[in-house]
Amino acid sequence: MRIHCYGCPATVAVDSNSPEQGLRAAGWVLAHGETYCPACARARGLSFPAAAGSPPPEPDLGPALNGSEGTTPPGVADGAATAPATQATNSREVALLDKLEQRAKRYLLLGGLATAVGLLLFAGLSTNPVAVAVAAVTAVVVPLTQFWDDRTERRSKQAIGLFLAVMAFWLVVQPLSHGWGIADLGNTVRWVLLLLGSVYGWRGLSSLRYIPLARSSLSKPAYDVRLEIQILRGYGGIPYTQARLWPPDPAMLPAEGQVAHPLAQFSWQASEPQIVALDGVPAKVHGAPTNGAVVVVSSQEAVLVGRVKRSHFGESPSAPKPMSPLVAWLWKPRHLRVP
């Protein structure tokens, strides 16, 4: 990707996976979240990276991300880099990652169990009443086991009710209304188990792939940002969240009826608490939120881990613009209010 200089029209091409290293290699300076070419850095008296071939110095990373010099947080000297957080200050983040790892392993275990029972029915046990009864119980218990840990959360409560209603339809209403025999019920249950096994296996493997990357991000530099989490209405009325990162300058946050490019959006995310609405609260993101990066975001209200799907990190910030009335009307009904 190309990064612009804040003092002149110059640009430089850097690797989106390691923009800080690319800037240092090109002789550019990143200060207060603003990038400067070598000439503009000298004119402003900013620290300059060492020449190529010498040991790389600590990057001069300001705590602001696409923000102004006034966004330096209390307790951090002007122009100082925000150091990586220590393990002692990452207790909430580590606890969330540990919880996600345990849940991912349970997904794999339950997915393997559902797949094994489904394959047994395909092997010829779909006409055995005992085997079909055990398979039906497995199809119900496997998802409930995952929901049980978060049974007090609003999303889990709604998901449990919706799941039990669907299973009651396929395992009770359909067989009674159509006069199904054991073989018909066994054929239905085996496909349900294979579907559950595939979904759970995919979710478990995806989480286990992202968690090590999230742990490593905790040792990287942290940047000041603003965290926004919206609660949206999903299938069956079950709420889900969508998080975005914004520059630390409050003026860059879009007001009602406005639209702007966020610093980062996520394709996969998990947070603690699971359902919480945040309207651009101050936060820190561990690691550079570039495309494809897995980062951890910490605020006083919540901790979030996610994989970035779209990033404007390192680009010149753009002011919010008016939103089309049609877009505003289509988007607003999906928002939910959670007490």
User: How high is the pLDDT of residue 222?
Assistant: 85
Q: pLDDT higher for 326 or 224?
A: 224
User: How high is the pLDDT of residue 1?
Assistant: 66
Instruction: For 116-138, write each residue's pLDDT tens digit.
Output: 999 988 888 888 889 888 888 88
Q: pLDDT higher for 324 or 89?
A: 324
User: How high is the pLDDT of residue 255?
Assistant: 67
Instruction: For 240-272, write each residue's pLDDT tens digit.
Output: 788 888 888 777 777 666 667 788 889 888 888
Q: Report whether pLDDT(72) > 50.
A: no
| DSSP code per residue over 15-84 | -TT-HHHHHHHHT-EEETTEEE-HHHHHHTT---PPPTTSPPPPP---SBSS--GGGPPTTS-TT---PP
Percent pLDDT > 70 in the chain is 72
User: How high is the pLDDT of residue 68?
Assistant: 37
How many other CB atoms are there within 10 angstroms of residue 226's CB atom? 25
Give me the helices (H) in the chain, please. 19-26, 38-43, 91-122, 129-148, 154-168, 174-178, 182-217, 325-331
pTM beyond 0.85: no
Residue 272: strand pairing partners: 303
Instruction: For 23-50, write each residue's pLDDT tens digit.
Output: 888 888 877 666 778 887 877 777 644 4
Ordered by start, the domain boundaries in the chain are 2-60, 90-215, 220-334
Mean pLDDT of the chain: 76
User: How high is the pLDDT of residue 327?
Assistant: 63
Q: pLDDT higher for 64 or 323?
A: 323
